[in-house]
Amino acid sequence: MNQHDHLQKSGDSSGTVTTLDQVPPPGECRVVAVPARGALRTRLLAMGFVPGAGIEVLRAAPLGDPVEYRVKGYCISLRKEEARLISVSARGVDP
């Protein structure tokens, strides 16, 4: 089973699954999966990017990278290459 098949089976059925780098500021989404591997996956999970967590996309740097996110009450800036490794759904976000 490849990564895409896994996301289709485990993803949030109420919305389209995309990656965090595709959600423009200002915006909101919810983590579906973190398909990154190794130390980067561990770091992203430790920072709060766990399945089910709500994310608010706050703003992008002047050249578009990095982007600032609010997750679990605190702000984190990620480069787009890191955000691309977090699968999200725009549906199911609490108001």
Q: What is the mean pLDDT of residues 62-67?
A: 93
The percent of residues above 90 in pLDDT, for the chain, comes to 76
**Spatial CB neighbours of 9, under 8 Å, sequence gap ≥ 6:** 1
Which amino acid is it at 65? Answer: D
Angle at 60 between CA 59 and CA 62, to 5 degrees: 130
Q: pTM above the 0.85 mark?
A: no
pLDDT reading at 65 higher than 90: yes
Cβ distance 25 to 86 under 8 Å?
no
